[in-house]
Amino acid sequence: MRRSTLHSLLVERASDLGVTFKWSARVTGFDRRGAFVNGAYTKCKWLVGADGQDSSVGRWAKLSSKGPKFSRFGFSRHYAVSPWTDLVEVHWGPGCQMFVTPTADDEVCVALLSHDPGLRIDRSLAHFPAVARRLKGAHALTAELGSVTALGRARGVVNGNIALVGDASLTVDGISGLGLTLAFQQAVLVAEAFAREDMAYYQAAHRKISAAPCRMTRLLLLMDQSEWVRRKVLRLFARKPAMFSRMMSAHLAQTMRETLDTTEMLGLGWQVLRA
């Protein structure tokens, strides 16, 4: 499902529940009781910053991290070509990865993650000849969209009646594929905190659900930085497919009981070294 379709469905559902949207509104300031929206003061009991990596709410609430983020550059484009598999393909290249996702019976989405801000999908295909052959002659359905992807977190996600959600609270590199999933989970948790009138609940729950994705993202980024590690990991998973399935299940876990703890991650590291 394309993001635009998902966005439309979410907006429609929220509207049915009574949510009021103010599109293209300009927010010029905040205080503990509300915000200035299009020059008018809007009161609120809770203020949620879901305004991305460089959250203005996070800066105002003194929740933004001062530490450096590990940043890369991501680009994506949809092509009119029949998918050759029903799986998501991940291709590794020098300092970059390419992801191919079937999105319809006659369409695939190609995404590129790279350390080079100047590298685009067309030029990167030289590193991925198998994908290049599949896309030969295919018509691009969308413009090439790009953004910065990073691994980093805010110093905190709660300050009084203010909470951060989504990329404002935590960013995981696009290689994890968990950005939207974490945002939805956080939205549910912050709503539960509102119902309890206990923002400490959200702070603790946010910490729990973000621990495993951050560990997994660091592992995947290590594979990106070291061809030696990457070959070891892929060799291990090829030899032990059950372990790969376990890792994927943990990575996509819906509950904390399914995730890998630190001991298990260290055990995996030892097996990688021996592979």
Reported as a single tens digit per residue, the pLDDT across 18-27 is 988 888 888 8
pLDDT value of residue 270: 47
Query: What pLDDT score was predicted for residue 135?
Result: 96
Say whether 242 sits in a helix, a strand or coil. helix
pLDDT of 66: 66
Is residue 253 classed as helix, strand or coil in its secondary structure? Answer: coil
Rounded to 5 degrees, what angle do the CA atoms 260, 72, 110 make?
85
pLDDT of 251 reads 64
- pLDDT score of 126: 95
| pLDDT score at 255 | 45
Cα–Cα distance, 88 to 108 (Å, whole number): 10
Closest CA to 84 of 126, 135, 153, 128: 135
Q: What is the pLDDT of residues 44-72, one digit of tens each?
A: 999 999 998 889 999 999 998 766 567 89
**Under 8 Å CB-to-CB from 220, ≥6 apart: which residues?**
173, 175, 176
Residue 223's contacts (CB-CB under 8 Å, 6 or more residues apart) are 92, 229, 230, 233
Q: Which residues of the chain have pLDDT under 70?
A: 1-4, 66-69, 250-275
217, 171 contact by CB (below 8 A)? no
What is the SS3 string spanning 100-157?
Answer: EEEEECCEEEEEEEECCCCCCHHHHHHHCHHHHHHHCCCEECCCCEEEEEEEEECCCC
pTM of the model: 0.76
Whole-number Å distance between alpha carbons of 222 and 129:
24
Look at residue 254 in the predicted model and tell me its pLDDT: 47
- Phi then psi for residue 37, to 5 deg, are -120, 120
Give the number of C-alpha atoms closer than 13 A to the C-alpha of residue 92, restricted to the C-beta side: 14
Q: What percent of the chain is modeled with pLDDT above 70?
A: 88
Domains and their CATH numbers in the chain: 70-149 (3.30.9.10), 226-275 (no CATH)
